[in-house]
């Protein structure tokens, strides 16, 4: 019990004792008057004592309830409030909102599996993971021997990114894109912002050969750096067999095996989906409903909150290394908004190429997104709430404000010479805060502790 609650309890007990003392005194006074001066007792003090006694009893009952609520374990009291908790989280204003659209089958929210899928030609083993971690942190794999995979993907610090707008490579060179987090990259079917790599093994070969990032001349040059270090001979033997040749392919396989262990299935959202109905706050529950009804799930779907992830990621099913068939890439920004110029969103076209009108990008995962700012492909946005506004307006055609008329669009069809009206989603500032709160529920408990300890 906190000091404030203890102080209130002591005051309450003192009040009960005082009230009981007054009642006793009133009753004794009335009885004395009745026995010593027959006929002179009006009974008023006795009535007052009865009334005061009822008040003391009621207050004592409330005090007892308060004591139970503040001293019994949370798991004993809170479940009694669960149904009421769920009934009160939706504000009255939601009665004017449209229903969550349902397709032939309702959207199924999924928790992240406890293991990541691995390809048949690179099974995950403890020995390979240990070797991969050693390589992941080895700055000798860069031309200047001072940049490693971990330089841009801070695993120890918890974020899995470097927290820069764009990443820093050898000789202080700055890249043109923000470093995606390495956490849960194992669940993505394509890698890099433009989705050019189909596997972790292929992605692991990219940074060492990038002239800005690690700057090695060739894959053979990377392999030779590893061969030159005697400390790698035994780990390679354990991972790939006695005297197995050290090649660039095997370096990439080991790094990929290590990255497949960097998964975070311990977020409050995961606990909620697995059955802990108290894992999410009221704001997060409202945000979860808005995330679905506004249409965010059209791109950020599944257990990894990305349409560019593998399928079959439900608990109890073996994770399957099969890509989704709804496309891994999306045009961004989809609509003209003031944010396009403000954050220079179309300077880099991604997979769209230089001649494209808009950028085309892989759908990123939203796992641990509260930890991985700054945001977007160019790292131009610092606040998670601002990203929610940008994506709502740019990708979903939503309006952010309080005027519901902002959500109405009129379309003219030249083919049939008709006018039609479409009501777009309208999000208030409170809705934006709720969606951001839900996104924060995707943060791993373990990573949150690491970040807080920094």
Taking the domains of the chain in order of start, what are their residue ranges? 3-78, 126-259, 265-453
pLDDT at 331: 94
pLDDT of residue 88: 43
Positive or negative, the CA dihedral 320, 325, 329, 335 is negative
Catalytic residue, candidates 30, 213, 259, 386: 213
pTM equals 0.76
pLDDT number for residue 1: 55
Among 128, 145, 423, residue whose Cα is nearest residue 293: 423
Looking at domain 265-453, which CATH architecture does it have? Orthogonal Bundle (1.10)
Q: Is the peptide bond before 184 cis (omega within 30 degrees of 0)?
A: no
pLDDT of the residue at 402: 63
Residues contacting residue 323 through CB under 8 Å, at least 6 positions apart: 189, 190, 310, 311
User: Does pLDDT of 89 surpass 50?
Assistant: no
What's the CA gap between 435 and 304, in Å, rounded? 17
DSSP 7: H
Q: Among candidates 199, 218, 226, 212, which has minimal Cα distance to 138?
A: 226
pLDDT at 404 over 70: no
| Active-site residue flag, 83 | no
* CATH 1.10.760.10, domain 126-259, yes or no: yes
Q: What are the tens digits of pLDDT across the range 190-244? A: 999 999 999 999 999 999 999 999 999 999 999 999 999 999 999 999 999 999 9
Radius of gyration of the chain (CA): 31
Q: Phi and psi (nearest 5°) for 399?
A: -105, 145
Distance CA 374, CA 178 (A): 8
- 111-165 pLDDT, tens digit each: 999 999 999 999 999 999 999 999 999 999 999 999 999 999 999 999 999 999 9
What average pLDDT does the segment 27-41 reach? 62
pLDDT, position 343 = 98
Residue 99 has pLDDT above 70, yes or no: no
Question: Are the folds of 126-259 and 265-453 the same?
Answer: yes
Name which of 85-94, 133-142, 330-339 the model is least confident about. Answer: 85-94
Largest CA distance in the chain: 116
Looking up tokens 């004794």 gives 28
3-state helix, strand, coil in the chain (%, to 5): 45, 10, 45
Strand 426-427 vs strand 399-400: parallel, antiparallel, or unpaired?
parallel
């Amino acid at each position: 019990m906190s000091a404030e609650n203890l102080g209130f309890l002591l005051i309450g007990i003192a009040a009960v004792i005082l009230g009981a003392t007054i009642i006793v005194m009133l009753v004794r006074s009335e009885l004395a008057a009745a026995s010593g001066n027959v006929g002179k007792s009006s009974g008023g003090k006795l009535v007052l004592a009865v009334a005061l006694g009822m008040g003391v009893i009621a207050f004592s009952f409330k005090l007892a309830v308060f004591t139970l609520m503040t001293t019994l374990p949370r798991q004993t009291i809170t479940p009694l409030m669960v149904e009421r908790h769920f009934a009160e989280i939706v504000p009255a204003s939601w009665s004017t909102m449209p229903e969550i659209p349902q397709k032939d089958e309702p959207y199924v929210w999924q928790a992240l599996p406890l293991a990541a899928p691995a390809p048949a030609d690179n099974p995950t083993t403890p020995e390979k993971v240990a070797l991969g971690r050693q390589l992941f942190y080895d700055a000798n794999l860069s031309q200047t021997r001072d940049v490693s995979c971990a330089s841009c993907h801070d695993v120890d610090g918890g974020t899995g990114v470097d927290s820069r707008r764009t990443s820093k490579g050898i000789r202080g060179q700055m890249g043109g894109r923000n470093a995606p987090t390495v956490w849960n990259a194992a669940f993505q079917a394509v890698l890099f912002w433009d989705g050019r790599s189909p596997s972790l093994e292929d992605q692991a070969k990219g940074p060492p050969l990038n002239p800005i990032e690690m700057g090695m001349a060739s894959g053979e040059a990377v392999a030779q750096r590893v061969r030159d270090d005697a400390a790698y001979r035994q780990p390679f033997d354990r991972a790939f067999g006695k005297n197995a040749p050290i090649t660039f392919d095997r370096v990439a396989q080991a790094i990929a095996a290590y990255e497949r262990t960097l998964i975070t299935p311990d977020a409050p959202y995961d606990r909620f989906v697995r059955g802990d109905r108290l894992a999410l706050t009221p704001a997060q529950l409202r945000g979860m409903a808005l995330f679905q009804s506004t249409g965010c799930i059209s791109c950020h779907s599944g257990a990894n909150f990305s349409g560019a992830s593998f399928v079959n990621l439900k608990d109890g099913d073996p994770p399957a290394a099969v890509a989704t068939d709804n496309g891994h890439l999306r045009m961004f920004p989809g609509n003209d908004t003031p944010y396009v110029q403000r954050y220079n969103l179309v300077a880099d076209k991604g997979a769209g190429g230089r001649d494209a009108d808009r950028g085309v990008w892989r759908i990123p995962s939203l796992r641990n997104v509260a930890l991985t700012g700054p945001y977007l492909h160019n790292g131009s946005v610092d606040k998670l709430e601002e990203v929610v506004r940008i994506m709502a307006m740019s990708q979903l055609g939503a309006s952010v404000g309080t005027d519901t008329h902002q959500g109405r669009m009129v379309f003219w069809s030249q083919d049939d010479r008709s006018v039609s009206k479409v009501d777009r989603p309208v999000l208030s500032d409170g809705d934006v805060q709720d969606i951001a709160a839900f996104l924060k529920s995707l943060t791993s408990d373990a990573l949150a502790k690491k970040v807080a300890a920094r």
